Amino acid sequence: MRMCYNVPAMWLQRLSLTNYRNYVRLELHLPPGLSIIQGQNAQGKSNLLEAIAYLATSRSPRTASDAELVNWLALEEPFPYARLAADLARGDHLDRVDITLLPANGNGGFRKQVRINGVPRRALDLVGLLLVVLFRPEDVDLIAGAPAGRRRYLDIALCQMDPVYCRALSEYNRALEQRNALLRSLQPGPEAAAQLRFWDEKLAETGGLIIARRQWLINALEKAAALHHLDLSGGYERLRLRYLPSFDPGRPPVRDAAPVVAETGVRYDDLTPERVGGVFLAWLHQNRSRDLAAGMTLLGPHRDDLGFYLGERPLRHFGSRGQQRTAALAAKLAELTIMTEATGTTPVLLLDDVMSELDADRRAMLLQVLTTVAQAIVTTTDWHPFSPAVLAQAHTWRVRSGQIEVVEPVGNVETLER
Ligand code: ATP
Ligand code: MG
């Protein structure tokens, strides 16, 4: 097995939720190692893992609206709020993190208040305190779903490893909104050029960094994913990952030409943020009249995509569902490998009810991976995907209507299933 690292253990020691989704009040002490949480449908399995991912990234993997996270009954109260808190252990060191969602304006919005060890901080300061890799059944859609899902896959890994990337991404998104608003309100001409210049430069600077870092990550992921894929598929064909940007970041535009990127993507080993920023700026200038006509910015990392290929064939079009599932699992395991290498710490591995969808070989492989991380938290509707030997080593819990309790004895699967 390749994933054996000797790194300082990081784990989530305590999780406390108040008015978070269907958890009105939860106080959970978690051990390192493997925790398996069993529950019927709609009891709170996904909500629990979502809360942990939220503490790591200050974002929900499921929704962009924080208001959805606040318990419905709490929303009826005069001053609704939700709170997530965690104790994060790393070696002997302990950090206390909490996020409170508070009403932001009169129309149902929420803002977050972040504290680290009791001190108010920005959400960005959370980056890297808790690293997670979350694997959900929906992740099979990574390969054939919409490009936004693949951009999110790259962003979540990069953001957790690199606060500079995270800041660039949020600045880029803000600048993009401003530029698009201007594009909608301006008429083409010298005045438009002058007003757009400021935002062009802001986009080029932050976008250059985003593209250079994404290319770096894709190269790193490809190496790790190809190895995991060989293990998982037992096949001979190599899994390839290729960057599909909206313009070629390694070459300045040819005058008056439209941007063309081959379906096979690009691959560079030596992109720097400055160089890509220069190319991006040239494209923004060249494409200005098209942007004005469209009323939006047509090129940039917000239009990026990532292609998965078996040999030369794009898996998105030609892969069977099973092949896509295997590639998605390889991509997720690669995320774990790269985050471990880049940070020196194994992320907390969160698996949301994915075991039952895998065949016996892939399940065994994933169980093996679970033993290589300092902490894994796995949800399941049934105990049967786990062998008695695995259950004997694991900490086992049951979730029912937002309440979690330890279930014993772990060995007797029949008793547990009742
Ligand atoms: P499944 O096995 O079907 O995936 P699950 O255990 O993962 O189920 P969750 O997605 O965690 O279920 O949802 C648990 C329950 O929480 C659902 O009934 C859902 O409707 C409810 N829920 C979601 N958001 C809120 C909220 N803001 N307030 C209260 N309950 C909520
Ligand atoms: Mg679920």
Query: Which of these, 166, 220, 12, 169, lies nearest to 97 by C-alpha position?
Result: 12
* Amino acid, res. 137: P
Q: Hey, which of 19, 22, 62 would you mutate to test ligand 1's pocket, going by the most ligand atoms within 8 Å of its Cβ?
A: 22
Domains defined for the chain, CATH in brackets: 1-131+345-418 (3.40.50.300), 144-344 (1.20.1050.90)
**CB of residue 41 inside a 6 A radius of ligand 1:** yes
Q: How far is the CA of 281 from the centre of ligand 2 (A)?
A: 43
Q: What angle do CA 330, 134, 114 make, to 5 degrees?
A: 145
Cα distance between residue 161 and residue 127, in whole Å: 7
Cα distance between residue 345 and residue 373, in whole Å: 9
**CB of residue 22 inside a 6 A radius of ligand 1:** yes
Query: Which of these, 262, 259, 220, 256, lies nearest to 241 by C-alpha position?
Result: 220
**CB of residue 63 inside a 6 A radius of ligand 1:** no
pLDDT digits (tens), the chain, 418 positions:
344 445 568 999 999 999 999 999 999 999 999 999 999 999 999 999 999 999 999 999 999 899 999 999 999 999 999 999 999 999 889 999 999 999 997 788 999 999 999 999 999 899 889 999 999 998 989 999 999 999 999 999 999 999 999 999 999 999 999 999 999 988 767 777 788 999 999 999 999 999 999 999 999 999 999 999 998 887 778 999 999 999 999 999 998 888 888 888 999 999 999 999 999 999 999 999 899 999 999 999 999 999 999 988 999 999 988 899 899 999 999 999 999 999 989 999 999 999 888 888 888 889 988 988 999 999 999 998 898 889 999 999 999 999 999 997 454 454 444 4
pLDDT at 302: 98
**CB of residue 381 inside a 6 A radius of ligand 1:** yes
Q: How far is the CA of 235 from the centre of ligand 1 (A)?
A: 38
Query: Which of these, 238, 210, 243, 212, lies nearest to 224 by C-alpha position?
Result: 238
Kindly tell me the burial class for residue 248, based on how many C-beta atoms sit within 10 Å of its own C-beta (0-12, 13-18, 19 or more): middle
Cα distance between residue 123 and residue 116, in whole Å: 10
Q: Which residue has the tokens 């080029």?
A: 204
Question: Which residues are CB-contacts of 119 (< 8 A; sequence separation ≥ 6)?
Answer: none
**Residue nearest ligand 1's atom 25 by CA:** 21
pTM, rounded to two decimals: 0.92
Q: Which residues pair with 349 in a beta bridge?
A: 133, 376
Cα distance between residue 375 and residue 34, in whole Å: 6
7 in Cβ contact with 346 (< 8 Å): yes
**CB of residue 372 inside a 6 A radius of ligand 1:** no
pLDDT at 80: 95
pLDDT at 223: 96
- Token reading at 43: 């009891």
Q: How far is the CA of 76 from the centre of ligand 1 (A)?
A: 18
Cα distance between residue 233 and residue 329, in whole Å: 11
pLDDT at 25: 98
Atom of ligand 1 at shortest distance to CA of 69? Answer: 27
Question: Which residues are CB-contacts of 151 (< 8 A; sequence separation ≥ 6)?
Answer: 301, 302, 304, 305, 306
Look up residue 65 and give its DSSP letter: -
385 in Cβ contact with 396 (< 8 Å): no
pLDDT at 3: 44
Atom of ligand 1 at shortest distance to CA of 74? Answer: 28
Q: Hey, which of 45, 49, 377 would you mutate to test ligand 1's pocket, going by the most ligand atoms within 8 Å of its Cβ?
A: 45
10 in Cβ contact with 346 (< 8 Å): yes
Give the Å distances, CA to CA, from 309 to 42, 157, 160, 379, 384: 36, 21, 26, 30, 34
Sheet holding 10-20, edge to edge: 23-29, 10-20, 82-90, 93-103, 110-116, 119-121
**Residue nearest ligand 1's atom 15 by CA:** 42
pLDDT at 182: 93
Atom of ligand 1 at shortest distance to CA of 43? Answer: 6
Cα distance between residue 386 and residue 394, in whole Å: 10
